[in-house]
């Protein structure tokens, strides 16, 4: 039975393997987000020294002795191989695999944990020895030990996926100090210092590009194999691989606050939020194991009342078979491993789930509500036209001085268009859903949408309402002073994203935007979006999602940038942040983070969720189906220990192999 004690301490041998704990505790350590970074760095490179065969030695000894005993029993028929000699031989073959399990049973018993798998296996195999079924007693424990080895291998595979992520963090940073570059630990580098990254090396810390440009492999972070060109002034993130030439980067974040550090923490802690299926199985196992133990006792003694020719050893044998079959490890091991595999598969595809509960919930999403800017469009705005009765250069300088105080992509486009501006704005106020107000050169300047001017009672040219592009209207000292048109670009995979979501069970796709309704409707029609609403304030977006959620049959996912849309992300059943790799707010507020700017990854997340859910339910159905059949046969005296071994260890192994399959799937 799985150990759910979060205070249980795990120890490790010199090879980095967990000791003194059950397989389920090993899975608990991995899937509960235990920090494995120390082991990773401590044991890095030891894998090349060869495979450690010591864990396989006890099972190998037991197998050889058991095989020799069976041959002596059934084929050679050695005369002295009987009585105490036979008992001692099989006892010796039992000890290498049986004693460790019995020790674990005793330790668990001292902690008042009686009904564990160790207890079940110990009682069943010792009982087999009691009734003279020595080979079967050894075989059950041997196959159980072999099963644990295979299961441990599956857990280690999952653990290696985390180690592979941890290994993308360089141990060394080359930092510029006293006009020379020296090698130091990344943890010691401060914000604002300059680091050097050579071609073929990984970036150790987040920062801004100081060199002209270089090509970077971002696959470790985003799952994308296509290299990315990063130019001067752009963000460079820890974990990226420099492909081109030596570059200098100005550090923007501490080592512990880097994007990759947060991503690693997210992946390691992902399964702390359990799926409903997983939580049910855990609760079920706690009730199920004591019940089947009681039934086994009843199966031994109750027939004495009803059966005329009651033979104790015969009914004890049936009860022992019942105990072996009843062990729930196939469920409590394979199901969390299945969800962990799904989370690992998602992270390799540039998708971070904050818990297996969201992985499960993604399969039920039938309504997707999407923001426009930065989600379906690139959010990279460029000024197309400047229309003003004033001096154009002076007009742009005044507006840019105000817009420099906002992080909105439209504001950035205007600031970039003005190039350099020595003007500074004072008393700047950002009015959500409207725009900005402030003082520049002693003048009151307003810049935003038409709602901003209407709010302050300023008349403007109504022909602006017919412009389909994004428009920033302005007023200076209470008078309308012109407008700036700005164009955004639809992402390359936006149309594919909408089509793929429809194909994967999303019945309704809704687009919400603060942009002009005419622009929103135009983009929605082009992409095939079911319904779209523009000119929305942040609180109006919340109202729209609340209206959609009134339909109890709808499971709603909201997709936004994770910064401006935090209230809607929190309100939705599943909050998905787009392009959240470098965004603190995205990682904090969203349930699922798409590390790239590709909306098509939403459909990929749904596919991974469905594949994981399918494998989990396959394991549940298979484990229960086989166990119920063999339990019935065992109680009726029609099944032997060999069938019991298959029903327990065999089913567990098949379920594990099925769960591991998710990690190899391509989406």
For 473-490, the DSSP string reads: EEEETTEEEEEEEEE--B
Domain 190-253 in this protein, CATH class: mainly beta
**How far apart, in whole angstroms, are the C-alpha atoms of residue 569 and residue 332?**
32
Contact, 578 vs 572, CB < 8 A? no
Which H or E run contains 369?
Answer: strand 367-371
CATH number of 382-487: 3.40.1110.10
Picking from 422, 258, 344, the residue whose alpha carbon sits closest to that of residue 661 is 344
CA 165 from chain centre, in angstroms, equals: 12
Domain boundaries, the chain: 11-165+269-341+610-664, 190-253, 353-378+490-608, 382-487
**How far apart, in whole angstroms, are the C-alpha atoms of residue 28 and residue 24?**
6
Distances (CA, A) of 357 to 363, 426, 445: 10, 47, 48
pLDDT at 374: 79
Only one residue has tokens 């019945």, namely 507
Which H or E run contains 295?
Answer: helix 276-301
**How far apart, in whole angstroms, are the C-alpha atoms of residue 560 and residue 370?**
6
Q: Are strands 479-487 and 508-512 parallel, antiparallel or unpaired?
A: unpaired
Q: Is the pTM of this model over 0.75?
A: no
**How far apart, in whole angstroms, are the C-alpha atoms of residue 105 and residue 89?**
24
Which phi and psi angles does 102 have, rounded to 5°? -65, -35
Partnered with residue 560 across adjacent β-strands are 577
Which phi and psi angles does 173 have, rounded to 5°? -125, 135
Residue 164 contacts by C-beta under 8 Å, 6 or more apart in sequence?
none
Q: Which CATH superfamily is domain 353-378+490-608 in?
A: HAD superfamily/HAD-like (3.40.50.1000)
Two structure tokens written together for 245: 């030439």
**How far apart, in whole angstroms, are the C-alpha atoms of residue 402 and residue 473?**
13
Partnered with residue 230 across adjacent β-strands are 214
Q: Looking at the annotation, which residues are catalytic? A: 371
Two structure tokens written together for 431: 């009015």
Contact, 203 vs 253, CB < 8 A? no
Q: Are strands 479-487 and 382-387 parallel, antiparallel or unpaired?
A: antiparallel
pLDDT at 619: 87
pLDDT at 447: 94
Residues in the chain: 667
Only one residue has tokens 């050169």, namely 441
Two structure tokens written together for 221: 């972070």
Contact, 211 vs 197, CB < 8 A? no
Partnered with residue 235 across adjacent β-strands are 208
Q: Which residues of the chain have pLDDT under 70?
A: 1-52, 151, 154-169, 219-225, 259, 262-282, 285, 329-330, 332, 420-421, 562-564, 579-587
**How far apart, in whole angstroms, are the C-alpha atoms of residue 626 and residue 291?**
18
pLDDT at 38: 39
Contact, 631 vs 324, CB < 8 A? no
| Sequence-separated contacts (24+) of 449-453 with Cβ below 8 Å | 449/473, 449/514, 449/516, 449/535, 451/535, 453/480
**How far apart, in whole angstroms, are the C-alpha atoms of residue 345 and residue 337?**
12
């Amino acid at each position: 039975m799985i150990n759910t004690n979060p205070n249980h301490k795990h120890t490790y041998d010199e090879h980095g393997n967990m000791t003194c704990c059950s397989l389920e505790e090993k899975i608990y350590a991995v899937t509960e987000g235990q920090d494995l970074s120390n082991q990773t760095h401590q044991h890095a490179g030891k894998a090349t020294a060869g495979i450690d065969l010591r864990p396989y030695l006890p099972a190998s000894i037991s197998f050889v002795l058991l095989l020799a005993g069976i041959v002596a029993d059934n084929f050679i028929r050695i005369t002295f191989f009987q009585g105490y000699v036979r008992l001692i031989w099989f006892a010796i073959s039992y000890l290498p695999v049986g004693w460790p399990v019995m020790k674990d049973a005793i330790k668990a018993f001292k902690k008042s944990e009686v009904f564990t798998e160790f207890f079940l296996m110990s009682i069943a195999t010792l009982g087999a020895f009691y009734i003279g079924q020595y080979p079967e007693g050894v075989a059950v424990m041997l196959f159980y030990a072999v099963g644990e080895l295979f299961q441990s291998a599956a857990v280690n595979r999952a653990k290696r996926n985390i180690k592979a992520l941890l290994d993308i963090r360089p141990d060394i940073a080359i930092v510029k100090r006293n006009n020379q570059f020296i090698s130091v630990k990344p943890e010691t580098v401060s914000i604002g210092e300059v680091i050097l990254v050579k071609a073929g090396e990984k970036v150790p810390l987040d920062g801004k590009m100081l060199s002209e440009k270089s090509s970077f492999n971002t696959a470790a972070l985003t799952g994308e194999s296509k290299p990315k060109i990063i130019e001067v002034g752009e963000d460079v993130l820890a974990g990226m691989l420099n492909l081109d030439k030596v570059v200098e980067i100005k550090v923007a974040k501490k080592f512990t606050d880097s994007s990759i550090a947060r991503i690693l923490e997210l992946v390691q802690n992902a399964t702390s939020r359990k799926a409903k299926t997983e939580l049910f199985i855990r609760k079920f196992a706690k009730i199920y194991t004591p019940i089947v133990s009681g039934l086994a006792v009843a199966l031994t003694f109750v027939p004495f009342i009803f059966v005329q020719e009651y033979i104790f050893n015969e009914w004890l044998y049936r009860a022992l078979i019942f105990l072996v079959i009843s062990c729930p490890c196939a469920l409590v091991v394979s199901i969390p491993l299945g969800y962990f595999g799904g989370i690992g598969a998602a992270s390799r595809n540039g998708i971070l789930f904050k818990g297996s509960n969201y992985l499960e919930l993604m399969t039920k999403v039938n309504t997707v509500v999407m923001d426009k800017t930065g989600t379906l469009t690139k959010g990279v705005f460029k000024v197309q036209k400047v229309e003003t009765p004033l001096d154009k250069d002076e007009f742009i300088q005044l507006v840019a001085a105000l817009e420099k105080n906002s992080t909105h992509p439209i504001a950035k486009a205007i600031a970039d268009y003005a190039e350099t501006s020595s003007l500074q704005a004072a008393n700047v106020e950002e009015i959500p859903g409207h725009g900005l107000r402030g003082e520049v050169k002693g003048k009151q300047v307003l810049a935003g949408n038409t709602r901003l001017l209407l709010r302050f009672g300023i008349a403007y040219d109504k022909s602006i309402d017919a412009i389909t592009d994004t428009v920033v209207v302005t007023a200076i000292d209470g008078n309308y002073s012109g407008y700036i048109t700005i164009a955004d670009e639809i992402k390359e995979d936006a149309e594919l994203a909408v089509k793929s979501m429809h194909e994967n069970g999303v019945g309704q796709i809704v687009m919400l935007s603060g942009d002009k309704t005419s622009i929103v409707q135009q983009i929605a029609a082009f992409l095939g979006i079911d319904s779209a609403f523009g000119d929305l304030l942040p609180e109006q977006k919340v109202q729209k999602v609340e209206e959609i959620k009134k339909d109890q049959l709808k499971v709603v996912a909201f997709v936004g940038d994770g910064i401006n849309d935090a209230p809607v992300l929190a309100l939705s059943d599943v909050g998905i942040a787009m392009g959240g790799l470098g965004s603190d707010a995205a990682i904090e507020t969203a349930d699922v983070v798409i590390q790239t700017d590709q909306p098509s990854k939403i459909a990929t997340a749904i596919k991974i969720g469905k594949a994981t859910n399918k494998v989990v339910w396959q394991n549940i159905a298979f484990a229960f189906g086989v166990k119920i059949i063999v339990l019935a046969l065992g109680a009726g005296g029609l099944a032997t220990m060999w069938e019991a071994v298959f029903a327990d260890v065999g089913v567990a192994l098949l379920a594990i192999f099925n769960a591991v399959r998710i990690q190899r799937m391509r989406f």
